[in-house]
Chains A and B, each alone.
Chain A
Amino acid sequence: MKQDFLFKASNISKYYGQNIGCKNVSLDINPGEVLGIVGESGSGKSTLLNCIYGNLEVDEGDIFLNDKSKTILNFTKISEPKLRLIQRSDLAFVHQNPRDGLRMNISAGGNIGERLMAIGHRNYGEIREIASNWLEKVEIDVSRIDDKPSTFSGGMQQRLQIARNLVTRPRLIFMDEPTGGLDVSVQAKILDLLRNLVRELGIAAIIVTHDLAVVRLLADRIIVMQNGNVVEAGLCDQVLDDPQHKYSQLLVSSVLQV
């Protein structure tokens, strides 16, 4: 196996009883790459994302991470505690609904600080300072640092979730419709933030979205899913500008100007 990849999933299948969640999907990511997964709702995008992150048990296939020490770990073979540790250190997951990714009853600063403490930060002043910086980056007024996310708007909660996930500088971020519930100007800020992080820190990302304008701006490559299967994969602008599969053509042509 080639050693320069960061993450690889091969022949992933997941069934819900008789129904296909996703079938025989393979993908791989190098450091600093952004992969978009597109398709309409029910196409298996989120199932796939949850499978490869290790949230859902797969029925078939293997998932490999080339970890910080250049050891290749197979998610389907390692222990549960080991997987949880990897999920906290090397990976991050941004949920579509911020309530799934935040602790609603601790403060905004606490939500960010908790992640720092989990990777060994102990100095209270320092943690608070980093948390303030991140609130600023995601455009949440720093005076709200001690407020609970339950008092935030949906858009603010989503920005907080992103800050909480990025503060530990993961190597690969999984995102499920990360800008879905946000208004356009906040989406733009988040997109810009993600692009900069990808370039400056070499963070890689897998982004599930139905928003083709978002993938066009963020992704290097995309895969198109329909009924749990990958129907097309390739360079982002190629798939959007010259889609080869019938379903991709339909998907692209149903959008008003991307």
Chain B
Amino acid sequence: MIQIKNLNKSFELYNQNNTNINVFKNINFKVNKGEVVALTGNSGTGKSTLLKLIYGSYIISKGDVLISDINIRKSTPRDILKLRKNRLGYVSQFLRVVPRVPTIEVVIEPLLDIGCEKNIALKKGQEILERLKIPKNLWNLSPLTFSGGEQQRVNIARGFIYNYPYLLLDEPTASLDQNNKNIVLDLIEKAKLNGSAIIGIFHDEIARNRVASREVNLENL
């Protein structure tokens, strides 16, 4: 279960006239196993910020994020790295990879990180790339040369190659056409059935209605 308790986030910008930006206050909700919670609210209400707080990329100002028995605010960097490796996945809108590394290697990296054998990892990598309709002749090229939609699907392949029990999705279908969108939504539904607890941002209402168990609107909290 993911639990968000009285979560507050503000940014203190020292070099910009010491501006203090309050993003949100006292957010509370829970996500159980097998649930997809969709974050909603206008742009600027802190949806992506909330995902980054849960993932440990942002520092929690006040309150707690609990992932199973792990309190993110009290975790050391090493604890968080271990959690990310084994249990907590994150699919962002942006692909950040070492240049020149082939797509297939990028995709299987999470499996290699947990000690999976390379042959098995490669097989799973091929399966998910096929499923996401990335043409075979691109697998050995760096994804940095790909189109936006292809890059996003590489990101998704990386996020779904391993069954993370906790998964954060930041607009996973944003730049995809209808066919590819459906394939990705299928993957999300499958992860949900497998018992993953998922928090996602879906701007596309149809996509959101299809996979979300509940919505949490950050404006009404």
Contact = CB atoms under 8 A, between A and B. Distances in A.
Interface stretch (B50-58, B124-132, B205-213): B50-58
Contacts of B78: 30, 221
A199 B57 CA distance: 22
Given A234-B77, A235-B80, A246 B100 contact: no
Nearest to B112: A199
A106 interface: no
A242 B80 CA distance: 16
Interface stretch (B9-17, B154-162, B175-183): B9-17
Nearest to A253: B15
A233 B38 CA distance: 33
Nearest to A30: B78
B98 A238 contact: no
B193 interface: no
B120 interface: no
Given A192-B100, A192-B101, A238 B58 contact: yes
A123 interface: no
A241 B58 contact: yes
Interface string A26-39: 00001000000000
Interface in B1-37: 11-15
A30 B78 CA distance: 10
Main secondary structure of the interface of B (DSSP, over half): loop
Say which size band chain A's interface belongs to. Answer: 20 to 34
A34 B80 CA distance: 15
Interface residues of B, number: 22
Contacts of A234: 77
Contact of B100 (A185, A221, A235): A185
B81 interface: yes
Nearest to B144: A188
B135 interface: no
Given A237-B57, A249-B14, A216 B100 contact: no
Contact of B14 (A188, A220, A241, A246): A246
Main secondary structure of the interface of A (DSSP, over half): helix
Contact of B99 (A188, A216, A241, A244): A188
A249 B13 contact: yes
Contacts of A216: 96
Contacts of A188: 98-101
B59 interface: yes
A250 interface: yes
B56 A238 contact: yes
A221 B76 CA distance: 11
A241 B112 CA distance: 26
A195 B99 contact: no
Interface string B96-115: 11111100000000001100
B100 A189 contact: yes
Interface in A203-258: 216-217, 220-221, 234-235, 237-238, 241-242, 244, 246, 249-250, 253
A35 to B, nearest CB: 10
Contacts of B81: 220, 235
Contacts of A217: 96-98
Given A217-B98, A242-B57, A242-B59, 13 more contacts: A192-B98, A217-B96, A220-B81, A234-B77, A235-B56, A235-B57, A235-B77, A237-B56, A242-B11, A246-B15, A249-B13, A249-B15, A250-B14
21 contacts: A30-B78, A184-B99, A185-B99, A188-B100, A189-B100, A192-B98, A216-B96, A221-B78, A234-B77, A235-B77, A238-B57, A238-B77, A241-B52, A241-B58, A242-B52, A242-B57, A244-B12, A246-B15, A249-B13, A250-B14, A250-B15
Interface of A: 30, 184-185, 188-189, 191-192, 195, 199, 216-217, 220-221, 234-235, 237-238, 241-242, 244, 246, 249-250, 253
Task: List the 9 closest A-B pairs by CB distance, nearest first.
Answer: A188-B99, A246-B14, A235-B77, A242-B58, A188-B100, A237-B57, A192-B98, A221-B77, A191-B98
